[in-house]
Chains A and B, each alone.
Chain A
Amino acid sequence: MKIAALGIDVGSTTVKMAGVNASGEMIWNHLEQVAPRVEKQVDSFLNKLKEEINSLAGIPLVATGYGRNLVHQAVKNVTEITCHAKGVYHQLGHGGTLVDIGGQDSKVIVIGAQGQVVDFAMNDKCAAGTGRFLENSAARMQVSIDEMGSVALSATEEVTISSTCTVFAESEIISMVAHGVAVEPILMGLHRSLIKRVVAMVRSVGLVPPLLLSGGVVKNPAIRKVIEEETKEQVFLPEHPQLMGAYGAALLALKVKQK
């Protein structure tokens, strides 16, 4: 394994790292839940990798994500908008409108034909429209986060969750459960509520097809189905949707090296 450059994405829920070879292919990756002491976590990440490949000398690291400034080993800090666009474009080979639904924020990035960011919008002010919205609601209904997509898709009907606010949605769910509504239709309604919020953001920048998805939340099959229904667009996913920020950062690190 010949890692030429590294990227690290310090997100709000997970820390992701990707290593690329000289041709920009992802040949190594690692993902962990984010620890309270990010600096220490990054040190131990890099130590583990060093044990695997003997030396990190001459391998540049670019950091992204909300904790990017805490990565003192990085040669450069780049925002997650640029990194996600870079990663997805490189992996899929074309531009479009990228929807990234992360644990604590979501973003819409219009990627041009050359892979450049043309426009973007971010929801970073509240949990509505993010993974946290689903996580909270899943916990309330005692469904595991990994299962909630398939449970939602097994619903034969759907209820409307009118609140996009995480706190109000939770009270709405409690009231529905108290009135005997089954878990499946509630979950389906929750997915739709989240996606409607995301689609509003897509409309604010203007959808340029194809629609691309990234972020940990898009592993959930109900998310993919509902977003296709709401936008009437087929969605495309990279192979590792959760690692696109780290991958993009690694590609930028490779560029630094080649300069």
Chain B
Amino acid sequence: MNMTIPPRKEVITDIKNHGGLVAAVLPIHYSRALLRAFSIYPVEVWGPPKVDVSLGGAHLQAYICSIVHNGLSFLKMGGLNIADLILIPHTCDSLQGLTSVLIDLIQPEQVIIPLYLPRGQREEDVAFLVDEFRSLYTRFSDLTGKHPTSKDLLTAIKREEMSDLLLTKLYKNRQQVGLSNIDFYRLVRSREYLPAEHFSTLAEKTLQAATEPRPGIPIILSGILPEPMEVLTMIDKMSGLIVADDLACCGRRLYAPGTSPDPFRRMAERIVYAPPDPTRGNSIEERLKYLTEMAQNSGAQGVIFYEVKFCEPELFDLPSLRAGLKEQGLASIIIEVDINNSLPRQVATRIGAFLEMLDS
């Protein structure tokens, strides 16, 4: 199917031309609705891949992941100059460290706003995030001079919920929409910078196309993000079919619609009760249950843990997760990558061998 996704640059220029503000947002969880209620448009920064990392390297230890290395390098080379503010969720120690480096040492022109995230799914975690969102509201008000009402906030929330519902629908129908692995993730990842209403239009159009399910060896992709994206073309070529994912930038952000009439609580609940994620403190048992059910529902025969090198939250869980999956009869493999490098041929051999193993 033919699909035109507007490029990131074009979208940002359009936002700016219409008087909107741009927030560069680092991984993983935050509330898009809260930003949009202030006419601030989130554009996410997952790296980006393949930049000159020597600029950021001067401030970071060698064992910090390439998402953070690249993010800082990109900022130092002027890649984030277009942004009016930089929002950094405290996803992990590395991003927390980056916030300190930016605030204390680099002091870029844009205002740096940290977002503290709770590590649990208890009532006090929701309450904590509600407070966080309230203080972000104050900071955004100070920045923009705007004071959106509860009604405004709820409108923004519902727009995002609609977009996320369509995203979830895309996931449910992914085999029927006639997209290859790479095209599916190009579309899904456009949510990282497209305003919700634009993404919804694209998603609706895609969902109208109904084709026969594509054949292939069914697998789950887990990890932070599918970068370099060549990996998806590689999986396509090797007859692998990603039938579900547990990726931080994609499937772990299939936020369910909220129910609370209080906008702050509704935004908080959506994140706290999102699919399990080690960076939000979900236990290995919860992740195992989630992955096993995902495999059962999607028919996946194995899991590729496609990990960013040095990503502590991800890598810590893997030995126990893999052992648990093995007990359930689910094969898995770990591939570690630096998003800055092109894919080494060894990755092709490992993924190829894994798919051959599942197919035999």
Contact = CB atoms under 8 A, between A and B. Distances in A.
Interface of A: 66, 78-82, 105, 116-120, 122, 124-125
B25 to A, nearest CB: 33
Contacts of B357: 81-82, 116-120
A81 B356 contact: yes
Interface stretch (B109-117, B221-229, B343-351): B343-351
A227 to B, nearest CB: 22
B360 A66 contact: no
Interface string B236-260: 0000000000000000000000000
Q: Which of A78, A79, A105, A117 has the most CB of B within 10 A?
A: A79
Give the one of B331, B346, B353, B356 with max A CB within 10 A.
Answer: B353
A124 B346 contact: yes
A120 B353 contact: yes
B346 A117 contact: no
A39 B345 CA distance: 18
Contacts, number: 38
B interface, over-half SS: helix
30 contacts: A66-B345, A66-B349, A78-B352, A79-B349, A79-B352, A79-B353, A80-B349, A80-B353, A81-B349, A81-B353, A81-B356, A81-B357, A82-B356, A82-B357, A116-B357, A117-B353, A117-B356, A117-B357, A117-B360, A118-B357, A119-B357, A120-B353, A120-B357, A122-B346, A122-B349, A122-B350, A124-B346, A124-B349, A124-B350, A125-B346
A206 to B, nearest CB: 9
A47 B55 CA distance: 53
A117 B333 CA distance: 13
A136 B356 CA distance: 34
A82 B350 CA distance: 11
A188 B349 CA distance: 32
Contacts of A117: 353, 356-357, 360
Contact of B353 (A82, A116, A125): A82
Contacts of A119: 331, 357
Contacts of B360: 82, 116-117
Contacts of B346: 105, 122, 124-125
Contacts of B356: 78-79, 81-82, 117
A219 B353 CA distance: 25
Interface in B326-360: 331, 345-346, 349-350, 352-353, 356-357, 360
